[in-house]
Structure formats: C-alpha cells, structure tokens
C-alpha cells in the first residue's frame, strides 16, 4: 500500500502542472491586464499633468516606455517562456510580487491566514461538535418527533445558500429596519486595541457569530444526515444483534460498537482539514465585509493581480491534492478492510 | 363460475408480476407525501410559469376600443392607436387605458392580467416618492431601486432560474454519464489519463474562470449554460465510473459479451440501465446546486445581462440598500421555498430508489 501512496504523491506533479498551465493560459487572454492598466494610468496621469494637453491621445506614450513596461511585467517574452520562468521561481519558493500591493505574494497571502484559519477552524470544529452527536441521536431516535423536526430544520438549512442566509441575518439583526444586535460585518471592531481583555473576547464573539453560522449552515445538513444514515446502517448489522444478545446495555452497544464503525465515512473528511488555512467563501466574506482569503482571491481577479491569483491557486491546489491523499490514508488507517493498490 | 374466478385470479397475479421496478419506485414515491406534494407543486408552478404573461404582466390580454378588439400579448400598440390621453408617447400603457376607459364610460374596456405589472417596466411615473417602494396592496413585494415591481421580477426569475438549472443539469448529466461510462468500461490507460484530465479540470477555480470569461464576453443565457455545463459534468463521472467498474464485473455482462454483443450494446443496453439509480436520485440536488450557482453569479454581477429578472440581482440590491428589507427577504423566501421543495423531492426519490430497508434489531 505504501507504493500506492507514493504513486499517488507522484501523480500530484502532472496534475499540478496541468492546473497551473491551464490557468496561466486563461489569464493571458483576459483584457484589462496590468500592462493595459499601467498604460491607461500613464495616459490619464499625463492628462492631469498638462491640463489643457491633448485629450485621448493613444500615441502620447513613447515606444521605449511601453517596451520598458512590457519588460517590467515580463510580457516581452512568449507565453511558454513566461510559464517556464514562473515554474522556475516557484521551485525556488518565489511566488513573485503582487502588482497591486507591491509586496511579495507570499506575504500578501499569509497576512490573511489568521482570519481564514480562525473562521475555518471555528466553523469546522462547531460543525463536527454539533452534527456528529446530533446525527447519532437522530439515528437512535429514528422516526421520533425529534427526528422529524430536526430533519425538517436541517433540510431548511440545506435550502438556503450560506451567503443568502448571512445577508438575511444582516437585514434582521444588523441594525437595518429590524433589530440592532450584531455588527454589520468586519473581523473586529475598529477600537479593538483599546478594549479590555474581556471586551476583546466579547467583541470577537460578537463579530464571529453570524459569519460562522453562514459558513456552517450548508455543511450542517450533509454531515448530520451522513452520520445518521451511517449509524442506522450499522445498527441493523449482525454484530449489533450479537452485542445485544450477549447482554450489553444499549449505551455500550451504541457507543462501544456501532459508533466506532459509523465514524469511518465521517473521518475521511478530516483529510481536507488542511485546507482550512485557505478557508473562506468570498460570497460570505463579501456579505460580512471580512478581509479574508476569499475576498483576496476575488479582488485579485477583479484587479488582474495575476501573481496573487496564481499564488492562491498554487497553495489551494496543493492543499486540495494532498488533502485527497490524506483522506485516503486516513480511510485506510481507520478501516483495516480497505486496501488500496 | 368457479372457472371464471380462477382465471380472474390468474390475471391478477400476472398483473402483479409485471409491475416494473420503475413502477414500484414510482408507487413508493407517491406514498412519500412530503416529496410527492412538492413534486406536484413544483411541476405545476414551472409549467404555469411559461404562460406567466397571462397572469402577471403589463400587457392587457384583450382591449376593446371603438368597436374593434386588440390583442396586446401578440402585437405592440402605440399609445395613440388606442386613444391614451395620459403620457401618450411610445407603447400603450394598459393600466392607464383601463382607468381612462372606465372614466370615459364609452363602452371601451381593457382586460388586464391578474397582477398587472411586468418584470422590466419602470413604474417611476406612476408611483410617488423615490424607489425602492415598500410592499403595498398594489405591489405585493414593493419595487426595486429602479422602480420595477419586485413580485413580477420574482415570478419571472423563477422561470428563468429553474429553466437554467434544468438545462444545465441535463447537459452536464449527458456529458458526465458518457465520460464516466467510458472511463469505467474501458479502464486501464483510458481511465488513468481521463482521471488526470478530470482532476485538472475539476480543480480549476470554476468561479474564477466564469468571472474571467464573463469579463471578456458579455454573458447571455446560452453562454452561461455552456460555461456552467463545462464545469458541472465532473461530479457525475465519479458516480458513473464507479458504477461501471462494479457492473462490468457482473455475470450478466459476461453473458452479453460471450454472446457476441458489441461494446456499444453492452454499454448502452446492459450496463447503463442498471447504473442509472445514483444519477436519478442525485438529480434534484444537482438542480438545487445549479440554482445556487446562478444566484451566486447574479449576486456578484457576473450572471445574466442587466434587465433579466433574477433573484441574485435582487439580493445584491438588498445588500447594498440594507434598510429596504423586502429587496432581500422576498427573493430569499422565493428561493428558499423552491429549493426546499426540490430538496424534499430529492429526499423522497432517494428513499424510493433505495432498496435497503433498515430494521432495528435489538
């Protein structure tokens, strides 16, 4: 099985090259790239300088300046050469410099890590802490009124996209026409530094509550129902009958026998926990005005900040591909019946 | 007499045997009330939404003016053609005409749809104050920031959103099933190469690509369908690939092959019908996901072009004007009800197709 996973790890390389190459190519065809933007700025800047100067001239910029700009952004070389240079730098762990922030891409991205990890981890932990026990309880009480009501609630949650739920919460509790309970968004209050320790904790919870709810609402249904079905399936197995017939209490049967096997499909999702570093839906971040990874990715596309776009792509792709393999490894560890070859 | 009875019984047993598995599932589905009722409601609403101008719209169904009849649904008439006195410029305004005719009392009349406002018409010259107007008896869900009736936009948006999701689901299923079937059936090198390709394609940041393409070409319904389909077929291939891997090892496939059946026949006639269960039971959830996608794109402003009535665009307005709660609550409720019903359908289909009946042992 070791050889299987070594092969899987090696297969990351072609996949990774494919993904970056395709994205790199697509980015070349987008209008309004950094070169055009820079030329535009020079033009308008020149106009502002000489107020009565010629308006709307495209020839206002000397040829050498254009060449200079092209060299600066690397557009004087053909695409394949640029891609090769980019890959070469990547191997040296150099992601380039952001056009917009004029900082190394790595710094721009890591600056957002704390926010992403915070929301990602809180959402992730809360989802597992709530959903797994809820799923188990629903399975044990299958068919009861509690099961019916909570199922309905879970499906209602499944039918609302996270960002729409967030927007609704903001309208209701963000101090518009209804109640003013929660802040309109942001990661922390502006006077964060002046707050007392308890004030900081309260402020953080205050700002966290609605976004985390929005993050959780989608995965809530999937995980709860997955747990429930998995437990139900195990409860109807022969080994459970054996456990009951040898006189074990219901508690022991469920927690000692059924639960352990039921958690197998759930544990596989843990492999993707490493992607939490980059967590952040830009829809939700846009709604709550949180300066996280999602918003950075979205904004960098709008700004045509290609080094940042590619940087985020590199990190997220690697995390995803490695997460896939980690999930499979976990699967094999938890369930000895599974053999990959 | 007794002979008769015997044949009757025989016929009955024969009938019982001939119930196909699909009929059985349909019967099971009908017993799951929550899903079945949702199914009826959604199908009826969707079919009605194609003749929506008969119920909701700015054009009159029938105008009787100076002894002749006019059908504004099929023709456009100028205001002067019908003797409109208030703002008699451009196209006729049938709400004005209705009021005017009844005031004049000369035997002319206008038959308006039940809810006489269109999704794209600007009502600024009929309403007082600045838009957005709050909900009222006349405008059930108020107006948006350009003075358009929100309720009409919601209903027309339902038709567009659901049609969009259905078309995208249909095409991505065809592609996904075909590719997944090929990978699973042929296996080996085809499978390894195909899987790498799918992995690359699937990891591409799909929303990014859509945003990039939308910023080059102004998207329309067809283009968005194509783009979304290109990224949506992937999920299905995993299912189909697995199903084909499992099914092709079965005896009936070996039997078909040994009888000399061509690959084409084996794939389409033997394996495919046996592996469609996950496809069908997954479809409602795929439709939900596609409605999500369109709403998100519209919300971000990368969706359907400007005047198209859409839920996402309304929500976007609602978020920028957070004091006008109806702009965000009404599309949310509309979307919520639609998606909830489709989810119920999906849940019921899944249950009807699931052969496993769990019995708790204790």
Q: Please state whether beta strands B62-65 and B109-111 pair in parallel, antiparallel, or not at all (unpaired).
A: antiparallel
Give the Cβ contact number of residue A95 at 10 Å.
22
Where does the pLDDT of residue B361 fall: very low under 50, low under 70, confident under 90, or very high at 90 and above? very low
CATH top-level class of A113-291: mainly alpha
pLDDT tens string B198-239: 888 887 767 667 767 776 777 788 888 988 898 888 888 888
* ipTM for the predicted complex: 0.73
CA of A70, closest CA in chain B: separation in Å? Answer: 22
Q: What pLDDT, on a 0 to 100 scale, did the predictor assign at position B48? A: 93
More confident residue, B180 or A30: B180
> What does the domain layout of chain A look like in residue ranges?
31-94, 113-291
**Which residues lie below 8 Å from residue A81, measured CB to CB, with a gap of 6+?**
none
Cβ–Cβ gap A22/B329 under 8 Å: no
* Residues B93-135: tens digit of each pLDDT: 888 888 888 888 888 888 888 888 888 888 877 777 777 888 8
> Among residues 41-80 of chain A, which lie with CB inside 8 Å of chain B?
none
Q: How far apart are CA A203 and CA A195, in angstroms?
A: 9
Between the two ends of chain A, the Cα-to-Cα distance in Å is 6
Task: Tell me if A159 and B340 make a contact (CB, 8 A cut-off).
Answer: yes
Q: Is residue B172 very low, low, confident or very high in pLDDT (cuts 50, 70, 90)?
A: very high
pTM of the model: 0.80
Q: Identify all chain B residues contacting A161, using CB atoms and an 8 Å cutoff.
A: 292, 295-296, 335
Asked if A178 reaches chain B (Cβ–Cβ under 8 Å), the answer is yes
Give Cβ neighbours of residue A283 (< 8 Å, ≥ 6 apart): A161, A162, A163, A294, B296, B299, B300
Q: By the CB < 8 Å criterion, does A142 face chain B? A: yes
- Judge whether B161 and B224 are in contact, CB under 8 Å: no
Beta bridge pairs of residue B91: B78
Report how far residue B182's alpha carbon sits from residue B233's, in angstroms, rounded to the nearest whole number. 14
- Alpha-carbon distance B297 to nearest alpha carbon in chain A (angstroms): 10
Angle at B323 between CA B322 and CA B324, to 5 degrees: 90
pLDDT of residue B171: 94
Question: Could you report the per-residue pLDDT of B38-71, keeping only the tens digit for each?
Answer: 999 999 999 999 998 889 888 888 888 888 888 8
Nearest to A26 among B209, B295, B324 (CB): B209
Cβ-based contacts of B319 with chain A (< 8 Å): 167, 170, 287
Nearest chain B CA: its distance from A236 CA (Å): 5
pLDDT per residue rounded down to tens, chain A (341 residues): 788 888 888 888 888 888 888 888 877 776 667 777 777 766 665 544 444 444 444 556 677 777 777 777 777 777 888 888 888 888 888 888 888 888 888 888 888 888 888 888 888 888 889 988 999 898 888 878 888 888 888 888 888 888 888 888 888 887 666 776 677 667 777 676 777 777 777 777 778 888 888 888 877 888 888 888 888 888 888 888 899 899 888 888 888 888 888 888 777 777 777 777 777 777 888 888 888 888 888 888 878 888 888 888 888 888 888 888 888 888 788 777 766 66
Does the pLDDT value for residue B153 go beyond 50?
A: yes
Note which residues in 313-332 of chain A have CB less than 8 A from chain B: 313, 316-317, 320-321
């Amino acid at each position: 099985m070791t050889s299987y996973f070594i092969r899987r790890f090696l297969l990351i390389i072609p996949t990774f090259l494919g993904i970056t190459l395709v994205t790199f190519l697509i980015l070349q065809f987008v209008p309004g790239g950094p070169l055009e933007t820079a030329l535009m700025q020079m033009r308008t800047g020149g106009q502002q300088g000489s107020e009565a100067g010629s308006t709307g001239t495209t020839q206002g910029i000397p040829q050498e300046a254009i060449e200079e700009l092209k060299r600066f952004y690397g557009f004087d070389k053909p695409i394949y050469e640029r891609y090769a240079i980019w890959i070469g730098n990547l191997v040296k762990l150099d992601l380039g410099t952001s056009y917009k922030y004029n900082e190394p891409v790595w710094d721009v991205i890591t600056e957002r890590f704390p926010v992403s990890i915070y929301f990602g981890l809180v959402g992730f932990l809360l989802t597992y802490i709530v959903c797994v026990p809820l799923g188990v309880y629903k399975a044990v009480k299958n068919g009861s009124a509690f099961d019916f009501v909570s199922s309905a609630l879970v499906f209602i949650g499944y039918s609302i996209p996270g960002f729409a739920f967030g927007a609704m919460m903001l309208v209701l509790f963000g101090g518009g026409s209804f109640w003013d309970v929660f802040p309109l968004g942001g990661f922390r209050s502006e006077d964060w530094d002046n707050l007392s320790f308890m004030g900081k904790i309260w402020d953080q919870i205050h700002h966290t509550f609605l976004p985390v709810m929005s993050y959780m609402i989608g995965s809530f249904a999937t995980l709860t129902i997955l747990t429930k079905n998995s437990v139900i399936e195990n409860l109807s197995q022969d080994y459970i009958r054996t456990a009951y017939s040898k006189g074990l209490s219901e508690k022991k049967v469920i927690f000692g026998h059924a639960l352990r096997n039921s958690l197998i499909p759930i544990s596989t999702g843990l492999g993707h926990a490493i992607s939490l570093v980059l967590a952040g839906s830009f829809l939700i971040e846009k709604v709550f005005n949180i300066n996280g990874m999602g918003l950075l990715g979205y904004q960098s596309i709008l700004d045509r900040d290609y080094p940042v776009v590619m940087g985020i792509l590199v990190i997220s792709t690697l995390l995803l591909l490695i997460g896939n393999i980690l999930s499979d490894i976990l699967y094999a560890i938890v369930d000895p019946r599974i053999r990959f070859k | 007499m007794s002979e008769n009875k015997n044949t009757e019984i025989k016929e009955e047993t024969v009938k019982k045997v001939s119930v196909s598995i699909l009929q059985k599932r349909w019967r099971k589905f009908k017993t799951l009330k929550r899903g079945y009722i949702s199914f009826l409601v959604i199908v009826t609403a969707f079919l009605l939404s194609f003749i929506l101008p008969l119920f909701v719209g700015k054009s009159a169904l029938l105008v009787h003016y100076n002894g002749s009849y006019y059908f504004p649904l099929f023709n456009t008439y100028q205001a002067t053609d019908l003797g409109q006195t208030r703002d008699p410029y451009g196209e006729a305004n049938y709400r004005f005409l209705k009021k005017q005719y009844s005031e004049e009392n000369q035997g002319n009349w206008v038959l308006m749809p039940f809810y006489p406002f269109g999704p794209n018409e600007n009502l600024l010259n009929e309403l007082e104050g600045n838009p957005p107007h709050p909900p009222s008896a006349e405008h059930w869900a108020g107006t948006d920031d350009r003075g358009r009736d929100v309720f009409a936009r919601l209903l027309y948006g339902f038709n567009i959103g659901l049609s969009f999701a259905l078309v995208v689901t249909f095409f991505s299923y065809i592609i996904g099933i075909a590719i997944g079937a090929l990978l699973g059936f042929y296996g080996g090198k085809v499978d390894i190469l195909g899987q790498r390709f799918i992995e690359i394609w699937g990891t591409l940041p799909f929303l990014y690509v859509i945003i990039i393409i939308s910023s080059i070409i102004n998207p329309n319904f067809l283009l968005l369908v194509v783009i979304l389909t290109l990224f949506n077929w992937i999920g299905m291939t995993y299912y189909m690939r697995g199903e084909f891997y499992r099914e092709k090892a079965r005896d009936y496939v070996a039997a078909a092959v040994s009888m000399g059946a061509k690959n084409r026949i084996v794939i389409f006639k033997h394996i495919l019908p046996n592996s469609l269960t996950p496809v069908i039971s997954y479809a409602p959830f795929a439709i939900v996901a596609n409605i999500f996608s369109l709403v998100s794109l519209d919300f971000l402003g990368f969706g359907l072009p400007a005047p198209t009535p859409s839920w996402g665009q309304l929500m976007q307005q609602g978020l920028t004007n957070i004091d006008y709660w109806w702009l965000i609550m009404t599309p949310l409720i509309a979307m919520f009800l639609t998606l909830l019903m489709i989810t119920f359908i999906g849940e019921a289909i899944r249950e009807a197709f699931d052969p496993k009946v769990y019995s708790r042992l204790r």
